[in-house]
Amino acid sequence: MTNHLFSLIRSRIPAPGKNFIETPEGRTLSYAELVEGAGRYANALVTLGVRPGDRVAVQVEKSVAALLVYLACVRAGAVFLPLNTAYTIAELEYFIGDAEPTVVVCDPAKREGISAIAKKAGVKAVETLDPRGEGSLANKASAQPAAFDDVPRAADGLAAILYTSGTTGRSKGAMLSHENLASNSLALVDYWRFTATDVLLHALPIYHTHGLFVATNVSLFAGGSMLFLPKFDPDMVIGLLPRATAMMGVPTFYTRLLQHPGLTREATKHMRLFVSGSAPLLAETHREWQARTGHAILERYGMTETNMNTSNPYDGDRVAGTVGFPLPGVELRVADPESGRILPQGEIGVIEVKGPNVFRGYWRMPDKTAAEFRADGFFITGDLGRIDERGYVHIVGRGKDLIITGGFNVYPKEIEGEIDAIPGVIESAVIGVPHPDFGEGVTAVVVRKPDAALDERAVLAALEGKLAKFKQPKRVFFVDDLPRNTMGKVQKNILRDTHKDLYTR
């Protein structure tokens, strides 16, 4: 048996001397150095007591070394467990207690705090890596040989656990197998036409599926290379676009780049592909981007548990406001959330998916896992959507964001679309707030342009006649910015909490 994921990665290396990574400071890492570096880290982890199947929890700033730790885990048959750098010590206590990792790798500044909680969870070693990729683990790795015999792993062997962002209840650890990751990367390389000549501008965090698996694994599986930025910085991105061929971003990358005077046709003429995902891209952003650069952003849809499910086509219409077609090998259907009955084309329901991309279940939560799969193996995503007559999938929001007012279902996206079309509005979020008569009252939170003379009454007047009475917001509030998490997702739970007593006080 081979190591399923790493042997595929190895087999696709175009030439050992080829560059895989270049950083803005001009540091480079070739494919040979990548394999060797991962080998040294794998030896270091084994010396620290990591055995096949053990978890290695990693909460560090983005660095090339952090990617080497990921690949070291894969080669050692261990389970890579990246953690959002924003998590506090109190939050880490839950993750470390739940995952029981053998080794925790953290920023030097957090070592002391983490050591205390790691001890309780039976962690064997707490090691460090700083933003430059230096620290106690790097020192241990550099003292190790590069040669490492990859531990055999079957296709269904675990490669990683990624905790879901958990805006409702506790985060759950999604268990991802070698084949979950490999199959999705292969599908995306093909669908998006990645080759060894591609240079991906990588500005995403690497503790999340988007930056870690979609961006990095697609580059590896294509034998391409990456311009590896420590974080998203519009100036830096604009400066590097002429050397890149592709970029993957969350919608906020695109809205922020649109505010940059350096974004021109000329600056993007070397690019062949801009991909957006992790949160809905406003149709307006799609249009503005195309007008400014000539490129149609390709929007795709996925989640931690499923990797990527759908994508707009490479050739053919990339339709703004849709997430395209199911990827090859992925089955997708829309069902009634309650009964599970499969709905006819065009109707709104919960999106369910099945395929080699879909995770193996939630870590140590068999009941939660069972509750989110149908008997025929489809995973219930919790996203509400519909499939249009051309087969394009549309997402209308998360199931938990659905508003039920006076017994009627209201899909926030429909109302947000109407509000966003009002002159003077930048964007909006529509939420349901407890209401004594209606159960929930439709409530809008709006960001307006700085010079817009727009108030609550004007918004409500503009919606008159556009939306059925029950869909119209009962109240409209204005804010400077919508609360977003690091992946650009609007945190509606925060908005709901802010306004929870609105109709009941």
Binding residues for ligand AMP (CB under 6 A): 164-165, 209, 277-280, 299, 301-304, 323, 381, 383, 395, 398, 487
User: What is the nearest approach in angstroms of ligand AMP to the Cβ of residue 326?
Assistant: 14
Of 168 and 504, which CB lies nearer to ligand AMP in the complex structure? Answer: 168
Of 33 and 305, which CB lies nearer to ligand AMP in the complex structure? Answer: 305
User: What is the nearest approach in angstroms of ligand AMP to the Cβ of residue 466?
Assistant: 23
Quick count: other Cβ atoms within 10 Å of Cβ 177?
Answer: 22
User: What is the nearest approach in angstroms of ligand AMP to the Cβ of residue 396?
Assistant: 9
Of the candidates 428, 423, 430, the one whose C-alpha atom is nearest the C-alpha of residue 454 is: 423
Of 279 and 458, which CB lies nearer to ligand AMP in the complex structure? Answer: 279
Of 123 and 395, which CB lies nearer to ligand AMP in the complex structure? Answer: 395
User: What is the nearest approach in angstroms of ligand AMP to the Cβ of residue 249?
Assistant: 11
Of the candidates 61, 60, 11, 62, the one whose C-alpha atom is nearest the C-alpha of residue 35 is: 11
Tell me the two tokens of residue 316: 């053919």
The residue behind tokens 């659905």 is: 402
Tell me the two tokens of residue 147: 């040669």
Of 219 and 307, which CB lies nearer to ligand AMP in the complex structure? Answer: 307
For residues 409 and 438, the answer to whether their CB atoms sit within 8 Å is no
Residue 460 DSSP SS3: helix
SS (H, E, C) 232-290: CCHHHHHHHHHHCCEEEECHHHHHHHHCCCCCCCCCCCCCCEEEECCCCCCHHHHHHHH
For residues 298 and 276, the answer to whether their CB atoms sit within 8 Å is yes
Tell me the two tokens of residue 67: 């990617």
User: What is the nearest approach in angstroms of ligand AMP to the Cβ of residue 117?
Assistant: 24
User: What is the nearest approach in angstroms of ligand AMP to the Cβ of residue 408?
Assistant: 22
User: What is the nearest approach in angstroms of ligand AMP to the Cβ of residue 91?
Assistant: 16
What is the greatest pairwise CA distance in the chain?
A: 71
Distance CA 409, CA 230 (A): 43
Of 279 and 283, which CB lies nearer to ligand AMP in the complex structure? Answer: 279
Of 245 and 304, which CB lies nearer to ligand AMP in the complex structure? Answer: 304
Of 36 and 352, which CB lies nearer to ligand AMP in the complex structure? Answer: 352
Of 205 and 277, which CB lies nearer to ligand AMP in the complex structure? Answer: 277
User: What is the nearest approach in angstroms of ligand AMP to the Cβ of residue 240?
Assistant: 24
- Residue 291 class from Cβ within 10 Å (0-12 exposed, 13-18 middle, 19+ buried)? exposed
User: What is the nearest approach in angstroms of ligand AMP to the Cβ of residue 146?
Assistant: 34
Alpha helices, DSSP H only, in 343-489?
A: 366-371, 412-420, 456-463
Distance CA 167, CA 485 (A): 10
